[in-house]
Structure 1
Amino acid sequence: MPRQMKFVAFLMAGPTCHHYAMWRHPGTENRFLDPAFWETLARTLEVGRFDGLIFADTLSFYDETIMARGGQISLLDPIPLVAIMARATSRIGLGVTIPTSCQEAFAIARLLSSLDVLSGGRIVWNIIPSANDLAAQKSGKDTQQNDEPFDRAEEVLKVSLDMWKGWADDALVVDKESGGFLGEGKVRRTEIAGKYIGVRGMFTVPPSPQRQPVIMQAGSSPRGRNFAANYAELVFTLQHSLPDMQAFYADMKDRVAKAGRNPGDCAILVSVNVIVGETEAIAREKQAYINEMVDTRLSVAILADRTGIDLSQYPIEKPISQIPAVTDSLGCFNVTLQGTKPSNLTLGEAAKQFATSEFCPQVVGTPKSVADKLQQFFENEGCDGFVVTPTEMPGSFEAFTRSVVPILQKRGVFRKEYPGSTLRETIRA
């Protein structure tokens, strides 16, 4: 069977996704507090045969400007939304982002495993090693800066994997006649004492049809890439152009192989912001219209939050290449620099461009030309698929599934039907 693309929809339970003017678009419904909205969106994506959807998450309001101007914030916990969307669908994968720094391993593993069982084996865990200091304080911690976040994340994941593997496939008996509920010796204890995590006891949740949640990771730093190479089945990356995609793709596949895994078992997904129009001119007008709505003050505030750099001390006319990268978020800052190299953008220009797609490609055009561009990225070893981000909600996803997906299906580079019932079956087909 020829290699086929994978698609994951990027979502947030709030006003924006990767385009920070999304909530201001006339076509955006802003029904993020309405359960029916999320149910309908999940069905739309499932009709489009998306592999899955992933909720990014924020645990705090980071900045007055970000709050006041409708930046990238979460107004709801995505976990109940995923449960609602699971009830409205039967095949699409459902992803949540949970930092390993703010919750204990057992609580994370139990929550994810319960969702995986109830969804029929369709959950993906997007692991992030740490939240920012404000989120840490809400979790009873003073700071995340000295926590060696990837080391802790690895321990949390290893404990979770051990607990998920603790149940035998035939452990749950439920035999009324004999009185046997669980098979003796079919559930083993987890006994792990690490530097950050210690667990002793039996895990309480039976395995799902896919055994355990799919693991996703989005680290861009060398440490993040190594973590993903060892554990991730899906890797979400922000890349500026095809050469950048190809370099990341080759590097990650090499790291996966060196980790002793099959490179085909780790799919690399690049973020794209798709804008579809009936003609090329209409599509470009749509792009210019939504991009012009971006608020520069909001853009600088969010870029400061992403990079960990106090950007308020610099004039917006300063070339961003001249701003020192003293930050704990070097991966994000390097992506920013990568996106500004071709035009030597100022801080204000870079922040505004960042706010339209986080320096990922805006793929703009007719359904055919959008399909052509995605196929170019895919067939030239830039990626295994895409994380699709919207500019209006739910219109971006409706236009994509109705106009671009059928073209890719006809060309044989995207599925017409789901291969099975679980997410792991879908991503490995």
Structure 2
Amino acid sequence: MPREMHLVGYCCVTPTWHNNGAWRHFESDGIEALNPERYENIARILERGKFDGMFFVDVLMLNDMHGGSFAPNLRQPGQTWMLEPMQLLSAIARVTTHLGLSATMSTSFYHPYHIARSFATLDHMSGGRAAWNIVTSTNDNEARNFGKDALLDKAVRYDFADEVVEACQALWRSWDEGALIHDRENGIYADPSKVHYVNYEGRFVRTRGPLTTPRSPQTSPVLMQAGSSDRGRQFAARWAEVVFTLHADKAHMKAFYDDLKGRVIKAGRDPGHCAILPGIDVVIGETESIAREKADYINSLVSAELGVAEISNAIGVDLSEYPLDKPVHDMEITQGARGMLDLILQGAGDKTLRDAGYIWGVRQMAPQVIGTPAMIADFMQEYFEADACDGFIISPSLSPTAYAQFVTGVVPELQRRGIFRNDYRGRTFRENLRDHGGG
């Protein structure tokens, strides 16, 4: 079967996604950010487009890194306040039948027993469509919300995360296949011999088990991850089935793709079982000029100052101490989320901090792809066939309009070219991911 790309829709329970001014657009559903019907509608659109899944970002604090205040992120809403995504996905599971459902949960704050039980439950509720976006967290203020003074060192956080995933895997397998036998005649509902203690004990993590939740359709959820540092890539090579990444151009995408696929092979895994999906923001028009006019207007609503505040939050460094006209490459920053900072510098060139804030406010370092459906498909096909990716995380600058335009315009183009499925062929999220390869 020819290689076909994967598509996952990007979401946050916030007024806007990457473009921090899009909520101001008259077509935006951003003012409905707390209404679950907003996300149910997006999910239905994505499922009509045969997307592999939808993916919810989550944070565990009101961002206040910039200037020591959360005011910038509330006055002009960035990705700062969010509902708990697992409960929202449980609702979405009831209005969809094929779409994979991914939520973010931090290994730094949630015990593996809680994580394993939550995702096993979602997997049951969705009929095998759950996915866990694994994060280790990057901001000490998140730690303070959970009664800790600070996060562990980054390298140790990933060691800790390895143990959390190991423990979760053991818990998900604490019920054997066929443990539920439903024998009415003999009055036996479950076979106790097929349920086992885990007794996992690592350096950081302990859990006895067994899980209270029977084995789910996928056994374990699909595992997603987005780390870009060397240690994050090592973690992804061991565990990730979907990798979300941000790169400003094809050369950086290709370098990341080749490096991570090589690590997956060294980890003893099938590289086709790790789909690498860079994020792209799309603005679609009936003609190129219409699309560019739309993008110009949407981007004119962006706040560069908020973008700088969002970079502060992303890298864990207060940038309010730097003048906005200072060239980014002259800023000696070594602490914080270095991997994220490197991604920001990819697109900064000799630009100032204000310029970087505007770029971040427009697309958060993902390419903003502007054009007709055929032009968008051309871009995606070029990167896909260059083995720079296995598909894309689609983050429209305008929701829900651009999701619908992508599904009605771009998806048929990809299908006509034979590089995207015409229908779902699997029953679970993992089956659909592996049905047509990952590179």
Instruction: With the length of structure 2 as denominator, give the TM-score of the two structures.
Output: 0.95
Where structure 2 has 5 or more consecutive residues not aligned to the other structure, the ranges are 64-69
- Most deviating of 70-79 and 396-405: 70-79
Q: Which residue pairs with 2:137 in the alignment?
A: 130
Deviation at 1:368, TM superposition (A): 0.6
- Most deviating of 181-190 and 47-56: 181-190
Partner amino acid for 1:18? Answer: H
1:237-248 → structure 2 map (5 Å cutoff): 237-248=245-256
Q: Which residue pairs with 1:353 in the alignment?
A: 359
Give deviations 1:342-370, integer Å, cap 9, x for gaps: xx111100111011111111111011111
Q: Please say if residues 272 and 362 of structure 1, whose CA atoms lie closer than 8 Å, have aligned partners that are also in contact.
A: yes
Partner amino acid for 1:391? Answer: S
For residues 199 and 106 of structure 2, what CA distance do their matches in structure 1 show?
23
* Secondary structure in structure 2 of the residue aligned to 1:425: helix
* Secondary structure in structure 1 of the residue aligned to 2:199: strand
For residues 59 and 281 of structure 1, what CA distance do their matches in structure 2 show?
41
Q: Please say if residues 101 and 131 of structure 1, whose CA atoms lie closer than 8 Å, have aligned partners that are also in contact.
A: no
Deviation at 1:208, TM superposition (A): 2.0
1:275-314 → structure 2 map (5 Å cutoff): 275-314=283-322
- Most deviating of 17-26 and 267-276: 17-26
For residues 143 and 426 of structure 2, what CA distance do their matches in structure 1 show?
39
Deviation at 1:131, TM superposition (A): 4.8
For residues 365 and 142 of structure 2, what CA distance do their matches in structure 1 show?
26
Partner amino acid for 1:164? Answer: W
Q: 1:394 aligns with which of 400, 415, 424?
A: 400
For residues 431 and 81 of structure 2, what CA distance do their matches in structure 1 show?
30
Q: Which residue pairs with 1:101 in the alignment?
A: 108
Q: 1:408 aligns with which of 411, 414, 421?
A: 414
Let me know the Cα RMSD of the aligned residues. 1.1
Q: Which residue pairs with 2:342 in the alignment?
A: 334
Q: Which residue pairs with 1:28 in the alignment?
A: 28
Deviation at 1:325, TM superposition (A): 2.1
Q: Please say if residues 344 and 365 of structure 2, whose CA atoms lie closer than 8 Å, have aligned partners that are also in contact.
A: yes
* Secondary structure in structure 2 of the residue aligned to 1:270: strand
Partner amino acid for 2:11? Answer: L
Deviation at 1:324, TM superposition (A): 1.1
Q: Which residue pairs with 1:61 in the alignment?
A: 62
Q: Please say if residues 11 and 54 of structure 1, whose CA atoms lie closer than 8 Å, have aligned partners that are also in contact.
A: yes
* Secondary structure in structure 2 of the residue aligned to 1:38: helix
- Most deviating of 374-383 and 355-364: 355-364
Q: Which residue pairs with 1:110 in the alignment?
A: 117
- Most deviating of 157-166 and 175-184: 175-184
Q: Please say if residues 309 and 326 of structure 1, whose CA atoms lie closer than 8 Å, have aligned partners that are also in contact.
A: no
Deviation at 1:155, TM superposition (A): 0.8
For residues 262 and 103 of structure 1, what CA distance do their matches in structure 2 show?
29
- Most deviating of 39-48 and 137-146: 137-146
Task: Return closer, same or farther for 1:131/1:180 CA change in 2, 3 Å cut-off.
Answer: farther
Q: Please say if residues 170 and 200 of structure 2, whose CA atoms lie closer than 8 Å, have aligned partners that are also in contact.
A: no
For residues 302 and 33 of structure 2, what CA distance do their matches in structure 1 show?
20
Q: Please say if residues 90 and 421 of structure 1, whose CA atoms lie closer than 8 Å, have aligned partners that are also in contact.
A: no
For residues 366 and 201 of structure 1, what CA distance do their matches in structure 2 show?
53
Are 1:423 and 2:429 counterparts?
A: yes
Deviation at 1:174, TM superposition (A): 2.2
Q: Please say if residues 121 and 212 of structure 1, whose CA atoms lie closer than 8 Å, have aligned partners that are also in contact.
A: no
- Most deviating of 167-176 and 232-241: 167-176
Deviation at 1:201, TM superposition (A): 2.6
Q: Which residue pairs with 2:79 in the alignment?
A: 72
Are 1:199 and 2:200 counterparts?
A: no
Give the count of matched residue pairs.
Answer: 427
Q: Which residue pairs with 1:13 in the alignment?
A: 13
Deviation at 1:195, TM superposition (A): 1.8
For residues 388 and 276 of structure 1, what CA distance do their matches in structure 2 show?
12
Q: Please say if residues 249 and 381 of structure 1, whose CA atoms lie closer than 8 Å, have aligned partners that are also in contact.
A: yes
For residues 194 and 91 of structure 1, what CA distance do their matches in structure 2 show?
36
- Percent identity of equivalent pairs: 42
Deviation at 1:286, TM superposition (A): 1.0
1:249-264 → structure 2 map (5 Å cutoff): 249-264=257-272
Deviation at 1:145, TM superposition (A): 4.5
Deviation at 1:262, TM superposition (A): 0.9
Q: Please say if residues 99 and 131 of structure 1, whose CA atoms lie closer than 8 Å, have aligned partners that are also in contact.
A: no
Partner amino acid for 1:20? Answer: N
Q: Please say if residues 138 and 316 of structure 2, whose CA atoms lie closer than 8 Å, have aligned partners that are also in contact.
A: no
* Secondary structure in structure 1 of the residue aligned to 2:171: helix
Q: Please say if residues 58 and 82 of structure 2, whose CA atoms lie closer than 8 Å, have aligned partners that are also in contact.
A: no
Q: Which residue pairs with 2:50 in the alignment?
A: 49
Partner amino acid for 1:366? Answer: T
Are 1:141 and 2:148 counterparts?
A: yes
Deviation at 1:167, TM superposition (A): 1.4
Q: Which residue pairs with 1:368 in the alignment?
A: 374
Where structure 1 has 5 or more consecutive residues not aligned to the other structure, the ranges are none
For residues 151 and 297 of structure 1, what CA distance do their matches in structure 2 show?
36
For residues 367 and 392 of structure 1, what CA distance do their matches in structure 2 show?
15
Partner amino acid for 1:75? Answer: M
Q: 1:186 aligns with which of 183, 191, 194?
A: 194
Instruction: With the length of structure 1 as denominator, give the TM-score of the two structures.
Output: 0.97
For residues 145 and 167 of structure 1, what CA distance do their matches in structure 2 show?
32
Deviation at 1:118, TM superposition (A): 1.1
Partner amino acid for 1:110? Answer: R
Q: Please say if residues 12 and 74 of structure 1, whose CA atoms lie closer than 8 Å, have aligned partners that are also in contact.
A: no
Partner amino acid for 2:54? Answer: L
Deviation at 1:282, TM superposition (A): 0.7
- Most deviating of 270-279 and 140-149: 140-149
* Secondary structure in structure 1 of the residue aligned to 2:423: coil
* Secondary structure in structure 1 of the residue aligned to 2:354: helix
Q: Which residue pairs with 1:223 in the alignment?
A: 231
Q: 1:159 aligns with which of 167, 180, 186?
A: 167
Give deviations 1:301-324, integer Å, cap 9, x for gaps: 111111122211111111101111
